[in-house]
Chains A and B, each alone.
Chain A
Amino acid sequence: MRLNERSQLPLVAGISLRYALTYAVLMLLGALFLIPFLWMLSVSLQDAQGMFALPFRWIPDRPRWENYGAALSAVPFGRYLFNTSVITASVLCLTLFSCTLVAYGFSRLRFPGRDMLFAVCISTMMLPGQVTMIPLYMAYARLGWVDTYLPLIVPSLFGSPFYIFLLRQFFLTIFREYDEAALLDGAGRLRIYWSIVLPLARPAIATVTLFCFIGTWNDFFGPLIYLNSPEKATLTLGLNMLKSQVIGSGSVQWHILMAASVLVMLPNIIVFFLAQKQFIRGIQIGGLRG
């Protein structure tokens, strides 16, 4: 796994060999990573026969933009976009609200049992969701929440260990002096939380927002289990429905499926490009202290 190189390589035309080698490997790997995306785009613009052409033609004679139209109409993606947005927005708000509160409690306040509770919180990250899945499902069924968005949204009211952990780590780096000064001035804890710590924690909050957005937007297992009515489905579920519709009928219309996949991937990619720095910084914070 290590590049074969000796410490001092000759400089060739001002560029060290090590440099060039690194670049070459990067280009190769970059190409490998890029090709699936390109292929997805290419297939999505071809017709039913185009995929089966040997050798594969990367650029079709006539790009079939109508595949995207067909994908949109085969399954009501517009509706699903709306559903997914509603769910994601709700989850986002509730998550930010609860996780920041709890993280603040774990990082800034001292009370007996704090560290033990935090350890418990972390360890629940390792719990496979399937252990609690069945009783939760039954409970939701009793409550009549199955086939509604409630099982997907309400749990975020109680916070999620991963984000709590991330936020706590960040809060720990904010100077205590601000808190103490405010306390001396007679401000209540809640006020300190709201007007001092939160604004300072903007990068971490942005990160949590992004993670939460991506996670909820892409969630598959939750909607798969809890949503039954097709009109309530999310984008991910819609894609799966399209797939089983398309494959089950005996004719595999991959070009439509790829077009649909591109559409589903688009929001993620857009959001990512808009907020790259925060995203990566967030993982750094979380991972380093792990």
Chain B
Amino acid sequence: MTRRAQCLAAAALVLAGCSSGDRKPEVEYNCPANALEIEVLQREITRFEADSGIRIKLNPFSGQDKLYAMMAAGKAPDIFYTSSTMRDRLAAEDRILDLRTVSKGDPLPGRLWPHVILNGTSVDGGWYSLGNWEFTCGVYYRKDLFREAGLSPPDSSWTWDDMVSLARKLTRPPGPDGRGGRYGIFIGSHFVEALELMNGADIPREMLLLRIPAESADLYRRYVALMDEGIMPDLLRMQAMGMQPAQLLENGKVAMLVEAVPNQSLIEAMTAPWGVAPLPRFPGKKPAYFRSASGGLSLSASTRDPGAAWKALKWIVTEASTYQPNPVLRDVDFTGGWEKRYPQLLGSGFRQVWDLSLEHNGGDPRFFVRFSSWTSGPILERLQPLLDQVWARKKPVDSLLAAIPAINSEVRREIAVTSATMTMKPEFREKIEQALKEMHDHSAF
């Protein structure tokens, strides 16, 4: 063939390929930037595409701050993760879909735990994000160290004081060469809120301003006392070490460790015999075990095919193997599935911890959920440095309580500015202004 004919033939082929109806709806999914997960997902996506005719394009993502920028540039993905803070802002600016509209008549909402839908609901009553994962937390402990010390392992009825006395018995000072020391327990600062719940602190969902109930303050004091007494390592030092918490437990540097349940990397890394117990209770307080609700997957309002996007979202939550068994689904045997994958979970106490957290679900009081998403940023900005100082034992817990009025007045001013200058759907604005008015009337804050 002559050169010219070759070119024409090639062009014709290309055109033919383009127009041969390769118009499958395409949905872009912002997935976590984990190489292994992506590999597995990629394989399953091809099967999903064959079954449903919807193509999913994976977009590995490692930065929340980019999402907004991408939206502004008009390149928003269709399915992406939103934290509770982001979700409310985006919902107010009409950037994400109310899932109730796309899921009409679909059986999936019925399969979800009610609290999952509640966690994804914003202040206007709309359902804007579908959680894709949940976890609770518990106290991991070294069975052999307990046996060695002649102590019986904890069960669900143990109290904070029981835990402290066990920790005391398990703490060992370092030898003359500086090695061999052991702490009784380690609780990371991000798990303090879970213990506040156990102590009965009442933390309403839509609180706009900072409020530290007496039970929380009491818990903070007990937490700091652990470090003062020397049964828990210094928090800053631990964070600075950069060691994984599981390594602490594995090396025997701590005998007990509060961590998420289930925690895949911990389960896989541990070779020493371990068990996990539910969080300790406080006398006279009803148990309220922590269950996370830190965000979920949302659908972009500018998605070209909402129906396809919903179907893809459904598939991700219910069938993508990386996320199965998915704890947000009621009809799935979560504990059974994990026990099958990791036989060491049998007899470890995992099942009990999980079931208890479902039975007495205390929810998620972490800052970005505790406070309304409009104020969690400004509050945390001011509160975190103070908390750091309290955990470093440079300031007493009371200094936190004393700082509350000042923090709140600043935050009140900021949110007034925000609501005056931000474009919001009327339902959101009404709710915020109403809350502001109420706060003025009850200036207990």
Contact = CB atoms under 8 A, between A and B. Distances in A.
Contact of B34 (A73, A137, A245, A252): A245
B266 to A, nearest CB: 9
Contact of A245 (B62, B66, B179, B242): B62
Nearest to A251: B244
Given A74-B35, A250-B244, A252-B244, A244 B72 contact: no
A228 interface: yes
Interface stretch (A38-46, A139-147, A272-280): A139-147
A247 B179 CA distance: 27
B265 A241 contact: no
A107 B62 CA distance: 47
Contacts of B75: 146-147, 228
B73 interface: yes
Contacts of B69: 137, 141, 146, 225, 228
Contacts of B66: 228
A147 B73 contact: yes
B70 interface: yes
Nearest to B35: A74
Contacts of A229: 59
Contacts of A146: 69-70, 73, 75
Interface residues of A, number: 23
B68 to A, nearest CB: 11
Nearest to B243: A52
B245 interface: yes
Given A228-B75, A229-B59, A250-B245, 4 more contacts: A147-B73, A230-B33, A244-B63, A250-B244
A244 B63 CA distance: 9
Nearest to B241: A52
- Residue from A52, A137, A141, A230 with most neighbouring chain B CB atoms (10 Å): A230
Nearest to A230: B60
A195 interface: no
A144 B73 contact: yes
Contact of B62 (A73, A225, A230, A252): A230
A249 interface: yes
B74 interface: yes
Contacts of B245: 250
A244 B73 contact: no
6 contacts: A147-B70, A230-B60, A241-B33, A245-B33, A251-B265, A254-B242
B260 to A, nearest CB: 9
Contacts of B242: 247, 252, 254
Interface string A31-73: 0000000000000000000001010000000000000000001
A267 to B, nearest CB: 23
B135 interface: no
Given A228-B66, A241-B33, A244-B62, A252 B243 contact: yes
Interface string B59-100: 111110010011011110000000000000000000000000
A72 to B, nearest CB: 11
Given A141-B72, A146-B73, A254-B242, A230 B265 contact: no
Contacts of A245: 33-34, 62
Contacts of A54: 179
A54 B179 CA distance: 10
B52 to A, nearest CB: 25
Interface string B99-118: 00000000000000000000
A248 to B, nearest CB: 8
A38 B244 CA distance: 25
A54 B74 CA distance: 52
**Which 4 pairs from chain A and chain B are nearest by CB?**
A146-B73, A251-B244, A141-B73, A252-B242
A56 B78 CA distance: 48
Given A147-B73, A252-B243, A73 B35 contact: yes
Given A52-B243, A230-B60, A251-B244, A144 B74 contact: yes
A54 B75 CA distance: 49
Nearest to B63: A244
A74 B269 CA distance: 19
Contacts of B265: 249-251
Contact of B61 (A73, A75, A230, A254): A230
A251 B246 CA distance: 9
B62 A241 contact: yes
A55 to B, nearest CB: 11
Interface string A93-134: 000000000000000000000000000000000000000000
Of the listed residues B34, B60, B61, B265, the one surrounded by the most CB atoms of chain A closer than 10 A to its CB is B60
A144 B265 CA distance: 41
A104 B61 CA distance: 45
Nearest to A137: B69
B35 A228 contact: no
A223 B122 CA distance: 34
Interface string B382-408: 000000000000000000000000000
Contacts of A252: 242-244
B245 to A, nearest CB: 7
A177 B186 CA distance: 79
